[in-house]
Amino acid sequence: MGEDGRRVRSLELGGSAGVVDEMDFFAKEEQERARRASTTDHGVPRLGLKKDDPAVNIGFQLFPATLERDPPMVQHRSPPDEDNDAKRVLEAMQAELARTNEENRRLKNMLSDATNNYNALQVHLIRLMQERNLSDGNTQFHEVTSEVDERREEGGAMVPLQFIDLRPASVVDEESYSITDEGTRRRRSSSPADPPPSNSSEQEHEASTRKARVSVRARSSAPMISDGCHWRKYGQKMAKGNPCPRAYYRCTMAAGCPVRKQVVQRCAEDRSVLITNYEGTHNHPLPPAAMAMASTTSAAAAMLLSGSTSSSEGVTNPGNPLARAIMPSSSGVVTVSASAPFPTVTLDLTRTPGPLPASSSSPRVFGQPPGNQSKPQPVTDTVSVATAAMVADPNFTAALAAAISSIMGRKGDGGTHQTSDSK
DNA sequence: CGTATTTGACCCGCGC
DNA sequence: GCGCGGGTCAAATACG
């Protein structure tokens, strides 16, 4: 390749010799240098000698080698030559292009590695949770974990988060069953075809996990927080002891997803606080914004099922390492309550959790003071961002953004991309 | 006209 | 057994 490249360049060099006059770029300098360096009386540069000029040859030979490094845009000037300069500019631009491509490749690799690490950590987290359950005598969890691992390792490619069900198989089946039609299930229970409700401990466990729900408290004046999903209202009730009605929504993003239920109501004491309860897991691909909330609720539900149900009292997040792993930046805003009838994880986005890195996308979400209700809209829209920030460690996001921006910044002026935007 | 919302009726679980 | 409350259904209505 080197020889051919040189030959081509030589040919180009020779071919462009005749168009020197058309190159205006460094005309002044060129004339000056030509007057000094060239001994020929004509304006025709010593192109023939240039081929033998060691400096030029070295430059041509070194260019490919310096592509991997940071070649200076302006090479040291060899004997004045317009064509030579033009060629060098061209070479420099080509080198820059090649370097940019190389950096793009590196960035892609970095991003892929980071995502891989994230997924690996998530799988590891799930495994830990399920091993914990395994010690309680539930043997199904481990198998599911192995399945997830195998899926991940076999495919090599990343499994979309929405397809990784964080719950154990029994829970998945149970939830999909119950959520498919909880109402009809109740009705069906009277049918003779239904197996009589046996009172095994397994079913008791399923019954408890089936109703695991995630409650999100956020300040918003909107009737419903926008989490990226498409919800259809199917009912409304006046709740006891609350002047504000309670609305019932169902996910309509997929025909086969009647499973999702969402209950929204306003806090009785503070009507600016919107309480949203999520039950179940989506069985269809989700947009990134919706995926954030879905993964949050899923992770929270998994956290709930991981062993905190042993306590009948509320357990705050800092005491739960798993919760800390899921929501590292939200200490104090996550409450796990295993009290009857169903265990609930409460994500309180109305409290101030403490200082957060400024580079993260989450700080503007948390801790909206009650006085800052002049702009309620961002609060509604950023709930998904908050959940995204909780699912994806903000520190990780910030570090990734910093790394990418540093790389982009090294290159020069190309670093204005919003790579830190969470999905 | 298709889709989303409203709203009264109905079902079911639970406590008394 | 009965009443209450939560949750869901489905017809009617509104809306784009």
Q: What is the CA radius of gyration of chain A?
A: 32
Reduce the DSSP state of residue A334 to 3 states and report it. strand
pLDDT in tens, A156-192: 333 333 333 333 333 333 333 333 333 333 333 333 3
CA of A109 to C1' of C2 (A): 68
A118 touches strand C (CB under 7 A): no
C1' of nucleotide B5: residue with nearest CA:
A233
**Mean pLDDT for chain A overall:** 52
| Spatial CA neighbour of A237 closest among A228, A226, A248 | A248
β-pair type (A245-251, A213-219): unpaired
The nucleotide lying nearest A223 (C-alpha to C1') is B5
State what percent of residues in chain A have pLDDT above 70.
Answer: 19
CA of A382 to C1' of B4 (A): 25
Q: Where are the beta strands (DSSP E) in A67-204?
A: none
Sheet architecture: strand order including A314-316? A231-238, A245-251, A261-266, A273-279, A213-219, A344-348, A334-337, A314-316
Distance CA A333, CA A345 (A): 10
Q: Where are the beta strands (DSSP E) in A283-403?
A: 314-316, 334-337, 344-348
Reduce the DSSP state of residue A163 to 3 states and report it. helix
Residue-level pLDDT at A343: 64
Residues whose C-beta lies under 7 Å from strand B: A 186-187, 189-190, 230-237, 247, 252, 341
Residue A268, CA distances (Å) to A99, A107, A236, A344, A347 in order: 60, 49, 16, 19, 18
pLDDT in tens, A295-336: 666 666 666 655 544 333 334 433 444 444 444 444 445 666
A158 touches strand C (CB under 7 A): no
β-pair type (A344-348, A213-219): parallel
CB A144 within 8 A of CB A130: yes
Whole-model pTM: value is 0.44
N residues, chain A: 423
CA of A69 to C1' of B14 (A): 74
pLDDT in tens, A275-291: 888 877 666 667 666 66
Q: Report the DSSP beta bridge partners of residue A315.
A: A336
